[in-house]
Structure 1
């Protein structure tokens, strides 16, 4: 009896447990249970009950319980857009989203996606693609590259209201890549890439130069160390050689030192003898000679002074005689000038008188003057024959007289010569020249 009762009780317990499991629903941490049907009312009069993180009783046949995932979802974005510059770009990104944890978000998601959760990714992709195209259309390629954070924030802001309505929240939005088929972005990067490459080459060249300089400096230091070591080795070897040579020369050096000492003593003795001889020379020769020299110098100085005095007296006498002679010469010149002036006046008077007489009786004056100057005229005529070495004269003395008469009477020449002689303007030599000129014309 007891066993039957125990069995019945166990059976009832099993039935109760099985029935409880059938009507009790527990929500996992990453899901929410939406209970609808008889008596399912939420706190906000939603018309259904939302259960998260706990269990709830569900009456089969009267109530329905369905689950909605609260896991994060990933939607990859691949959108072809056109920038404000008209350049087509291909934007790749990723958006991580989920149903919000609050009851409002769960209710909104339940109303829209409950039973259609497989289509959520496609709808979210379309939503973000539309917003991305709209935002990119107002930006340049440079803005897309430089300000990706601004782009993502703009997308979040513009899609926030729609995501709330869908009961979704965005955990993360990333723009992964922006491509263009025209090569615009690549061309934008080329100057910078070239500058970076140039800087890299410059830096590499500098590093190579520094490395080469360091290597060369190390080689120089190494060579200097080797050189210093060799110099020290050579110095040590030289010291050893000097020590060996010094040791080998110890005997000869001692002998040479002994000989040197002898020479020093001999030199000292010779110097003493020389000093003694010099003292003797000083007393016997040099001092008497200096006395005689002093005497001669003194006498010579006295003679020189006497000669100077005598020369000065003679010079004074010469000066006085010169002044006297100069005075005499001056007086004599004045007397001669007076005599010449008187003579000139007398000659001028004579010339004037002769001119006056010539004007009154020219022929008589000429005859008188010819008579006075006849010897000179004859002498002048005879000089015409002075250069004749041999002369043949016919008719003897008569021929000579005829020749001389011819010379004196040729044309008016004789009279010209006579008048020139009378006037004193032609001397004997000029008269001879006049006669020779006449002979040459004949």
Structure 2
């Protein structure tokens, strides 16, 4: 160390070789106002104060002398910067609720974090106080609102409870007063009623005695009337009621006997009716069985007749079918033979057919004369021969076309109908 530290006493200084400079060891104070952000992202301004001094030990004085000797006014800004950084770091790891509730913890953490740096500066922190927290966002105020509302509610409840208790006490007192007044009024009314009753009893003593006497007389008269009524009842019982009961008993016995006789007669009639119904039912059953037997016989005969008719019809159908089949086979054989003949000797077959049908052909040619009413022949016999020859010549002219049609298997062309000239 190239300098000498002297504290609390004097020292010899060689002018020109040594220089004396002083460093105050008194307390210093630095105001803090740091903008911080909590772990919740809420902005908060922390206001505090740091009280510090240069340490008394030689190492602290040496460190402070190296940094602040001749520049002691800069000490405050250095301390501010140290605490500003640590405050921001520590508050950034805490919530707003922790900062509010645990300010001592916050101060302790800041002092611990800044202790090493302050020691390097030769400074010792005597005190760190968090004076205030400013909340630009209003979080602290909003955080307090539920508690404020709770406190206000509890205050209102307490006030209402006290008011209710006071009202109950007042009501109890009023009720007690009313009860006392009511009891007093009742007692007064009872006393007055007793007095009135006594006066009324005194006033009614005479009439009441008369009424009591009359009541006793009426009671005695009632007893006498009751005894007389009992005597009359006994007379009626002996002279009227017993004979009437005997007569009623006789009538009831006679009615029961008549009822029994009627019941027996009714049962006999019912039994007779039942037997007749059974006999009729048996008769109907026998007739039904007979009818059923006859119907079965008729049905059997009808069945046999139907089967015979069906067999005859079936035989007739078989015979007709056989005849049709034979005719069809004969026609088929004829057609087959004709086809074979046409294939082998066509001219001969056609000539035979023309010869066989020649009368019909000539008749067809002469058919127009059938519709002639009067026929006038000119030139006598020659005219008649000429007319007949014309008809035959028409038939001869028509034969080639018929022959060609038969060869080709077509229907012969129809001859146009022409009425000969008369």
TM-score in terms of structure 2 length:
0.48
The two structures have a TM-score, normalised by structure 1, of: 0.47
Higher share in strand: 1
